[in-house]
Amino acid sequence: MPRALLVYPEFPPSYWGFRYALELLGKRSSMPPLGLLTVAAMFPESWELRLVDLNVEPLADSELEWADLVLTSTMVVQQRSLQEVLARCNALDKPVVVGGPHPTSFSSEISGADHFLLGEVEETFARFLADWEAGRAAREYRPQSKPAITTTPVPRFDLLDLSAYGSMALQFSRGCPFDCDFCDITKLFGRVPRTKSNEQMLAELDALYSLGWRGALFLVDDNFIGNRKEAMRLLPVVAAWQKEHGSPFDLYTEASVNLARHEPLMGAMVEAGFSMVFVGIESPNPEALRRTNKPQNTSRGDEDYLLRAVRTMEEKGLEVTAGFILGLDGDGPEVFEAQVDFIQSAGIPIAMVGLLTAMRGTNLYTRLEREGRLLVESSGNNVEIALNFVPELDREVLIDGYCRVLARLYGPDLRSYFARCRTLVARLGHWPRPTRGPTRAELLAVMRSLRLQLFSRQGPAYAAFLAHTLFTRPMGLVKAIRLAIKGWHLQRFTAQTLAAHAFRKTAIEGYGRAEGLLDRAAGAPERLRRTIDRQVTRTIRQVRRRYRRLRPEFRRGLLLGRAAIERALRELAREVPSRELLRRWIPRFRTSFTDDSWLQAFEAVGYQPAGEGTVERTNPAVAMAPLVADGRLRRSLEHFFRELGVRVMSTGEQLAEIGHERLEQIHGLAEVSERVKSYLHAVAQHIDTLVVPVASELAGLSGKVQLLAAEAADRASDVPHLVCICLEGSRREVRARLIELGIALTRDAARAEVASDRALALI
């Protein structure tokens, strides 16, 4: 019997993960991997299946060794965890299949996967599996059109440990009729929503009910009302099912703001058991909404349309949670106060405010790329305090304003949060009677919440909110306690997000100050060394203090961890003795070796292009040709090599080892080819691989990484391998070349990606 292991990579901490609220409930993850469960249902019965959700449990080597085939599904935000999974599969020589939104958009940049199931897999999975069993599976499978989902099977919920999750998930439709600039949903799933039949949805409800699930159930549709006619067809059937089974599920979903215009639809949702809806409000600024192609959030001549829409949904009985974006074109400095005022007035306790990010495949990405404003690819984390494009608003003003908004919404005392909760509880117009008593886990969560929150800085606002609810809306007390528990998570997550940003800012600014001293300060070397040492010591002390405030899950998510930044600082300090060497000799090397004769000289020495591939030496010792005058770039590249785990000789160490006398001899030679030969023989005593930064137009490199090898085997020991790399172009282009370079040196694509990101973080 063939065996398949389905692995769901880990999410970084997020608002919607509700990690700290789930800890009170004894849960480990907010939601199961619905996509993988659906794929599991597509396997024939002849296959044995296991599921490992890394958000719930670690992945053991024994699980990988058990499997004949490993399958993963990821969103962009899970890419770092996917890299780790791929590396482990490769190490054990296990074939691995990747699918989901991330591989669909980034397939050409994912290394280590054997097969790609791109897009929706209803029409391709069976073909792939048959090909794999026959030993002829292709590298890539992609559907020719958007498949109907009326034949999608019931997900294999039986593979889950249901007790580990705070909510279950179903899907009714795919696609959205709106084409917002920053959203990739229409590119992935189309603008014509496709839906499941009533019978399919009832079968999925039955499956969860029969397994014993009771409680929260998320319909993961990107816009549940994208096809209002189909939604109205389903809702009465779900309402009847809920009534017949004693209303076991508390439903919630995502919808567009225009839901508020359709009272019968809202009524049908409440009747079916929906108590919450997430809407993308984005901004109270009509101009910004128009420029981001969000007309459904505006109404001509009605500046209060969004406020009234939220109130309408709340009064109908639907709690509104919402997403907001800062950094839209059209936003000015006044947007920060406007966002906070709107969220407080609307009574939206759970408001996810993020910085705008340009995701590949969106109209926004295409436009910013055309305008030359795109900087790097998005991490997929829309609450990360980072920008991957050049905003209209000043970058520092935008980031500082964003931090202020987060602190206002979820400050340590949660005063503004509980004020929004009071507004919501006062407005909610439908309070269904509870159909079941609280579970033991829920009672324990309430006790933990009271103990932790009442005796914290949140205590006064928390107690006042519960007391007000008890006396004014006693039917809402359960809702109030749930909101309070969620507030515990939101405050802690926000505090950690701001602390992680403060750590990064302290590290980078401290490193920059030390660099400035090294690159610009005058004075005797010994005096400069003491000055640099003081700055490095001060920065390390500040970094450590910031680091202690971070929880382990946020420490793991740092691109530049404490150890890495301390190492970079100490390496910078060690460059002081070679400072004058660098200032003197780098310009001379650049003058001699950066025109066409540089590569012609390589050929004269006996090098030939080796094509794309890997350096044929294990554990290479690497140095960089002394051609990079920019100190920060040079040190960042050397940091890249160290992150790869290869032995690196810094440029300063290299020049010091060669020595003034030999350097003078090298540059005293008349012919460039003779200088090159002499330099290569000198450096070959200490390294076996030399990285040479070159201009993109030289030797037909076309911006790629190119290997050069010695022509004769007996000469290979006298001169190093050469790896030519272009460092010109955009940050995205340089990152791609660094990854190529890392693969050439280590054959480890996952490590090369992480190393390139960490190196570029220092620039």
What is each CA distance from 46 to 96, 98, 152, 228, in whole angstroms? 19, 22, 19, 40
**Single-letter amino acid code for the residue at 748:** D
Measured distance CA(172)–CA(156) in Å, rounded: 16
What is the chain's length? 763
Does residue 409 surpass a pLDDT of 90? Answer: yes
> What would the pLDDT profile of 411-427 be if each residue is shown by its tens digit?
999 999 999 999 999 99
Chosen CATH of 167-409 out of 3.30.420.40, 3.20.20.70, 3.40.1830.10, 3.40.640.10: 3.20.20.70
Contact indicator for 128, 4 with CB cutoff of 8 Å: no
Quick one: tokens of 386?
């980072």
Percent of the chain, pLDDT > 90? 70
Q: Report residue 548 CA to chain centroid gap.
A: 23
Quick one: tokens of 354?
């993020």
Lowest mean pLDDT across 205-214, 225-234, 430-439, 752-761: 430-439
pTM: 0.93
At residue 438 the predicted structure's pLDDT band, cuts being 50, 70 and 90, is: confident
Question: Can you list the positions of beta strands (E) in 54-136?
Answer: 69-73, 96-99, 115-117
pLDDT of residue 713: 38
Task: List, in sequence order, the alpha helices (H) in 273-362.
Answer: 286-291, 305-316, 335-346
> What would the pLDDT profile of 207-228 be if each residue is shown by its tens digit?
999 999 999 999 999 999 999 9
Q: Report angle CA 610, 615, 621 to the nearest 5 degrees.
A: 135
Mean pLDDT of the 439-462 span: 92
At residue 17 the predicted structure's pLDDT band, cuts being 50, 70 and 90, is: very high
Lowest mean pLDDT across 229-238, 359-368, 472-481, 728-737: 728-737
Higher pLDDT, 238 or 631: 238
At residue 718 the predicted structure's pLDDT band, cuts being 50, 70 and 90, is: confident
At residue 717 the predicted structure's pLDDT band, cuts being 50, 70 and 90, is: low
CATH architecture of 3-141: 3-Layer(aba) Sandwich (3.40)
Burial class (CB in 10 A: 0-12, 13-18, 19+), 183: buried
pLDDT of residue 716: 47
Domain with CATH 3.40.50.280 in the chain: 3-141
Measured distance CA(655)–CA(683) in Å, rounded: 9
pLDDT of residue 671: 82
Mean pLDDT of the 704-721 span: 61
- SS3 for 597? helix
pLDDT of residue 602: 73
> What would the pLDDT profile of 537-584 be if each residue is shown by its tens digit?
999 999 999 999 999 999 999 988 999 999 999 988 888 888 888 989
Mean of per-residue pLDDT scores for the chain: 91
pLDDT of residue 707: 66
Comparing C-alpha atoms, which of 8, 361, 72 is closest to residue 188? 361
> What would the pLDDT profile of 577-630 be if each residue is shown by its tens digit?
888 889 899 998 887 766 556 667 777 777 776 655 555 555 678 999 998 888
Domain with CATH 3.20.20.70 in the chain: 167-409
